[in-house]
Amino acid sequence: MQDLGISVLFKGINMQRLLLGLWAALRISLISVLISIPLGILTGIVMTLRNPVTKVLTRVYLEIVRIMPQMVLLFIVFFGVTRVFGINLPAELSSIIVFSFWGTAEMGDLVRGALISIPKHQYESAAALAMSKAQIYLYIIIPQTLRRLVPLSINLITRMIKTTSLVMMIGVVEVLKVAQQIIEANRKTSPNAAFGIFAVVFLLYFTACWPISLLSRYLEKKWS
């Protein structure tokens, strides 16, 4: 049987390096998620306002994020900002800025969708039961919004984790970059390492995203 290059994994601290790479990827996505959720909730609430100015602004923001490939955004922030403003942003910080910029827009749109999907009658029947504004939001509107929001935002989180594979293009050493380095370094001794190492990378992404998907499916079932 051909050597699949799995053995490369156990040379030196290669496995440890891969795990550190994974951690770098998760760190970027998790910090971005933590920033995106509160900002996204605010953006979503702003999106539901009837003010024409905020409507246009949020619309333009959302469209920019949707149209621009994440890679272009990364290049603009990492290379563009350095040139134009002379600020030297570290690659990881640039990644977090871009991912938060993206996550906030998408999260905002999800929140907007969830909020407007609550029928007006829910507010009214709660008001008719003499509940105060705060009680209506606390007991009726927010729980229903969250139920609609959680599965959708979990999907966004897994997409963000997967998209971190792009940040190696601006020099962040994350799991995919480490994998490439390992493969390059062992090209002579085990030319098939690409298969084994990338298979491991696949498994690493899988173990990171699978539990999150499971949680989403569980919540969807519980709340459907």
Partner 1 sequence: MERAEELLKLEHVKKAYDGQEVLKDFSLTVHRGEVIVIVGASGCGKSTLLRCINGLEPIQGGRISLQGQVIDGRAKNIADIRQKIGMVFQSYDLFPHKTIMQNTTLAPIKVQKRIRADAEKEAEELLQRVGILDKKDNYPRQLSGGQKQRAAIVRALMMHPEIMLFDEVTAALDPEMVREVLDTMLELARSGMTMLIVTHEMSFAKAVADRVVFLDDGVTVEEGTPEEFFERPKTERAKRFLHTFEFDSVKK
Enumerate binding residues for partner 1 (CB under 8 A).
119, 121-122, 124-132, 135, 139-140, 143-144, 147, 223
Closest approach of partner 1 to the CB of residue 11, in Å: 54
Start-end of H helices in the chain: 14-48, 52-67, 70-75, 81-85, 91-116, 120-128, 133-135, 142-163, 175-185, 193-223
Give how far Cα 201 sits from Cα of 5, 166, 214, 215, Å.
13, 14, 20, 22
Instruction: Kindly tell me which of 119 and 211 has the beta carbon lying closer to partner 1.
Output: 119
Closest approach of partner 1 to the CB of residue 109, in Å: 23
**Is 17 exposed, middle or buried (CB count within 10 Å of its CB: 0-12, 13-18, 19+)?**
middle
Instruction: Kindly tell me which of 31 and 127 has the beta carbon lying closer to partner 1.
Output: 127
Closest approach of partner 1 to the CB of residue 195, in Å: 48
Closest approach of partner 1 to the CB of residue 121, in Å: 4
Instruction: Kindly tell me which of 4 and 142 has the beta carbon lying closer to partner 1.
Output: 142
Q: First and final CA of the chain: distance in angstroms?
A: 49
Instruction: Kindly tell me which of 119 and 191 has the beta carbon lying closer to partner 1.
Output: 119
